[in-house]
Amino acid sequence: MTSKRFDLLLILPLAIFTLAFLILPLARLAVEAGSGPGGLANFVAILTEARFRNSLFVTLILAVVTTVATLTVATIAAQTLANRKFLGRGLLLSLLTFPLAFPGVVVGFMIILFGGRLGLVGGVTKSLFGTNVIFAYSLFGLFLGYLYFSVPRVLLTILAAAEKLDPSLVEAARSLGAGPFAIQRDVVLPALFPAMYTAGALCFATAMGAFGTAFTLATNIDVVPMLIYTEFTLATNASMAAAISIALGLITWVTLAIARSHAMRGEGV
């Protein structure tokens, strides 16, 4: 029938683009990863070679800590904002979600302004204690940068869930004598879990793949994306870069897939 042909026409551009610029390149990446002098040993090298292993370890820890910290502050802030009406609420929400659009490089620059050589914190500590505290180029600076770009997105997701939470649930729990911590544990957090899973997974995946912030801060900590970049451009070891890329892609994709299945199960209850 003609409508069948039209359906085909609708999906044709998407099919061509995805095939040419996503599936084919990813396949090419996989071939590249296995075709270097090391062959499939490239993948083993990620775990055996200290440089790669340490980098993977640091990145994983950083991503996990970022995710936990982001979820904590975002959940607190979301509950604080959810059912409060006050003057300038819209403006405050805009300010909080504004950095959503910042590329990693800009976020890195924000951290430099905050804790760099001419940074705000250093300036304050210098005038108070005579020492210029600089943390922008350390692991802590990197962590703050990741927090900076993670909070807005996670906050938006959890806020949406918190606003949907029926306030009478909390009132019912209070009428039954539940204290604030019991209410959090038994009523509020279970309702927010699907959103927290989804947002947390995305936060983790973004942190694993973030490149711009580390690039701007130019720390001596090699997070995995920096490693891919140096392997490819400086060491011109394309197959090793490809192997690390695939490993990184798999980790983030699996995390997202697991979180999504958890979130769906949470919503199903």
Partner 1 sequence: MHRRWTSLAGIVVTALLTLFLVIPVLLSVYAGLTVSYARGMSAGFTLDWVRQVWELYSETVWRSLAVALLTLMLTLLIGVPGAYALVRRGGRFARVVEEIVTLPVAVPGLALALALILSYGNLGIFRQSTLFVVVGHVLFTLPFMMRAVIAVLETIDWRTLDEGAASLGAPAWRRFIDVILPNVRPGVVAGALTVLTLSIGEFNLTWMLHTPMTKTLPVGLADAYASMRLEIASAYTLVFLIMIIPLLIGIQLVAGLTEKRMTS
Partner 2 sequence: MNSPNPTAAVRNGSSITTRGLTKTFNGHRVLQPTDLEIAAGEILVLLGPSGCGKTTLLRLIAGLEQSDGPDMIRFDGEDVSAVPIEKRDVGMVFQSYALFPNMTVAENVGYGLKIRKMPRAQREEETKRLLALVGLEEYAGRRISAVSGGQRQRTALARALAIKPRVLLLDEPLAALDAVLRERLRVEIGLLLREFGITAVYVTHDQAEAMAIGDRIAVMQRGRIVQIDAPREIYHRPINDFVADFVGTMNRVRGSVRAGALILDAGETTARIAVGGPDRETTLCFRPEAARLAVDGGAVRARIRATTFFGATQRLVAEVSPECQLQLDLPSNQSFVPGQIISFDIDPAAILEFKPES
Residue 237 backbone class (left: φ over 0; alpha: ψ -120 to 50; beta: rest): beta
Element holding 90 (H helix, E strand): helix 89-97
**Is residue 241 a contact residue for partner 1 (CB under 8 A)?**
yes
- Which option in partner 2, partner 1, none does residue 17 bind, with CB closer than 5 to 8 A by kind? partner 1
Task: Please give the residues from 192 up to 221 whose contact with partner 1 meets the rule CB under 8 A.
Answer: 202, 205, 208-212, 215-216, 218
Window contacting partner 2 (CB under 8 A); options: 1-9, 37-45, 100-108, 207-215: 1-9
6 lies in the site for partner 2, by CB under 8 A: no
∠ Cα 16 18 23 (to 5°) = 120
The correct pick among 71, 151, 159, 173 for binding partner 1 (CB under 8 A) is 151
Torsion of CA 118, 124, 130, 136, to 10 degrees: -40
| Residue 120 binding partner per list partner 1, partner 2, none, with a CB distance cut-off of 5 to 8 Å that depends on partner kind | partner 1
The SS3 call for residue 102 is: coil
Task: Examine residue 9 and tell whether it contacts partner 2 (CB under 8 A).
Answer: no
Whether 65 and 200 have beta carbons less than 8 Å apart is answered as no
**Contact flag: residue 5 with partner 2 (CB under 8 A):** no
Number of residues that bind partner 2 (CB under 8 A): 3
72 vs 78: CA distance, rounded Å: 10
Binding to partner 1 in span 15-44, by CB under 8 A: 17-18, 21-26, 28-29, 32
Main-chain phi, psi angles of 43, to 5 degrees:
-70, -35
Could you tell which of partner 2, partner 1, none binds residue 37, using a CB distance below 5 to 8 A set by kind? none
Residue 159 interacting entry, from partner 2, partner 1, none, C-beta within 5 to 8 Å by type = none
Contact between 125 and 132 (Cβ < 8 Å): yes
- Exactly one of 69, 106, 133, 169 binds partner 1 (CB under 8 A); that residue is 106
User: How many C-beta atoms surround the C-beta of residue 183 within 10 A?
Assistant: 18
Q: Is residue 87 at the binding interface for partner 2, with CB under 8 A as the rule?
A: no
Q: How far is CA 250 from CA 90, 105, 245, in A?
A: 38, 25, 9
- Beta carbon nearer to partner 1, 195 or 210: 210
AA letter at 220: N
Whole-number minimum distance, CB 144 to partner 1, in Å?
8
2 contacts partner 2 (rule: CB under 8 A): yes
Task: Restricting to residues 42-81, name those near partner 1 by CB under 8 A.
Answer: 73, 76-77, 79-81
Structure tokens given for 225: 């994306």
- Compute the distance between CA of residue 20 and CA of residue 25 in angstroms, rounded to an integer: 7
Binding site for partner 2 (CB under 8 A): 1-3
